[in-house]
Amino acid sequence: MSSPSGKIVIATRESALAIWQAHYIRQRLIDRHPSLQVELLGMLTQGDRLLSASLAKVGGKGLFVKELERALADGRADIAVHSMKDMPMDLPAGFALGAVTEREDARDAFVSLRYPRLSSLPSGARIGTSSLRRESQLRARYPGLDVNPLRGNVQTRLRKLEEGQYAAIILAVAGLKRLGLETRITAVLEPEESLPAPGQGAIGVECLEQRTDLIQMLAPLNDAATQWCVRAERQVSRTLSGSCVVPLGAFAQPLGDRVWMRAFVASPDGRSYVADEGEVADRSASPEALGTAVAEKLIAAGAREILAALTHDS
């Protein structure tokens, strides 16, 4: 295949982290195809506009994706770059995931100006987080904490911490590292303490299914191990009909030839919490089979009842 020339337009959110991710994909493409012209189309999504309410109440993480997909559909952009944890479990008809890049650290970060670790927070301390997944795990493990919603980009959240609005906040390690803010991490939370979201730390590149030229161009950017794990994690959520209103975590990790995965479902208050795990001998197995198997263990442990209560309450 000859090196493609011409122009590619990348649709991206306008937050600093999203722009970093788009520039990262842009550079990866230019490194492989030096004659290719790659431009960014920055967009303000509905998820970026609605900062006064929790994502669960305004439509979920898909609000960060829809406008970018619309730009692909009407030809304003050729590809869209997303955080995989923000992507709905099922792509709309006619769209394809051309690549899932090598994963950055998938863990959550504890950030505080006063306390060295999550376990050192005193009862009643105000802690901020943007996700029901994190909130439910905090409430389950540390019921004495005052967990409060925290929306906005990474810099906005850090500013609110510095202003004293929170004793601590929880952010993704990957976002802090990509923005050069790794020194702000007070402690990294291991998956046993805060299980990541499906796809956390990975970047996805989306295009129209009919654009086989783009799918071929994006293929070398794909990291097979990351893609396998992300597919398994997303299958847990898909099997459980997970969305932003469901406190759910899933994390798959290669351990030599094996792949191990743990997942949980909880009520937002953390009082109902089920978790389980599974593994396969190697990645020749189906990632969806592993995800389904772990999800079925959660269902056997009571996940359906938790989900039914969430649906009733909403």
Cα distances (angstroms) measured from residue 177 to each of 17, 20, 84, 104: 10, 11, 16, 9
Annotated catalytic residue, options 48, 78, 86, 108: 86
Tokens of 137: 């795990």
Please state the separation of Cα 293 from the chain's center in Å.
Answer: 21
Alpha-carbon gap, residue 93 to 129, rounded angstroms = 33
Alpha-carbon gap, residue 154 to 157, rounded angstroms = 5
Q: Is the Cβ–Cβ distance between 202 and 100 less than 8 Å?
A: yes
Alpha-carbon gap, residue 314 to 241, rounded angstroms = 15
Please state the separation of Cα 141 from the chain's center in Å.
Answer: 22
Tokens of 172: 């993704």
Helix or strand (DSSP H, E) at 156: helix 154-162
Burial of 211: CB neighbours in 10 Å, binned 0-12, 13-18, 19+: middle
Q: Is 86 a catalytic residue?
A: yes
CA-nearest of 224, 288, 228 to 259 is 228
Tokens of 69: 């997909």
Residues paired with 100 in a beta bridge: 204
Cα distances (angstroms) measured from residue 36 to each of 4, 7, 81, 216, 273: 6, 6, 17, 15, 50
Catalytic residues: 86
